[in-house]
Structure 1
Amino acid sequence: MNISGVVVHTLPENAAALQEQIAALAGVEVHATQDDGRMVITIEDTPEIGPAETLMQVQNLPGVLSAAMIYNYCDE
């Protein structure tokens, strides 16, 4: 099991649409959003894709200004 905590920044006007796109990714859950465009998400590994690849998918979504891993937990 591998879980990563990530902070995503976007412009406030893009936040709602981006939140839906991020939540649709496999292994991703949106936990909190702020009015200034920040959101906190977790990424869990899945059989199809690892957390590093999912983080890259998030970073490459249109409207994402930054996505930074803040915490990582790994256990068997």
Structure 2
Amino acid sequence: MNVCGCLVHAAPDRVDGCAEDMLAMDGVEIHGRSDEGRFVVVVEDTPSLRASETIMALHQIPGVLSVTLTYHHFEDLTDTPAQAPLSSPTQSGAQTHDHL
């Protein structure tokens, strides 16, 4: 799973057109929007495109002035079991700082 949060800035006279173009793209959701042309957008991988490719395509929408990646989360969703750590910090002699 690959999830990216982006801020998209569009020309104020192209806000509606940019919104339509972004929503027409697979893996793109608009979570916030201002009349001045700022969008909060989430982009996810799709079966045919990586999120990074979709973000690059956002740059090509007429009226989009900038796209800024503000959040990224990647998680491997394969069914491999998680491995337990070989030892905990207290077992290996490392100091812990519970008061922090």
Q: TM-score, normalised by structure 1?
A: 0.96
Say what the alpha-carbon RMSD is for the aligned residues: 0.7
Matching of residue 22 in structure 1 with residue 22 in structure 2: yes
Counterpart of 1:60, as a letter, is Q
3-state SS, counterpart of residue 68 of structure 2: strand
- Equivalents in 1 of 2:56, 2:11: separation in Å? 19
For structure 2, the residue ranges without an aligned partner over 5 or more in a row are: 77-100
- Equivalents in 2 of 1:46, 1:71: separation in Å? 18
Q: Going by fraction, where is helix more abundant, 1 or 2?
A: 1
State the 4+ residue runs in structure 1 displaced beyond 3 angstroms: none
1:13 Cα deviation after fit: 1.4
Q: Going by fraction, where is strand more abundant, 1 or 2?
A: 1
Matched length: 76
For structure 1, the residue ranges without an aligned partner over 5 or more in a row are: none
Aligned to 1:74: 74
Matching of residue 56 in structure 1 with residue 59 in structure 2: no
Q: Which has the higher contact order (CA 8 A, sep 6+)?
A: 1
Q: TM-score, normalised by structure 2?
A: 0.74
1:55 Cα deviation after fit: 0.3
CA offsets per residue over residues 1-60 of structure 1, 9 Å max, x none? 000000000111110111010011010001110111100100000110001100000011
Which is greater in Rg? Answer: 2
Identity %: 38
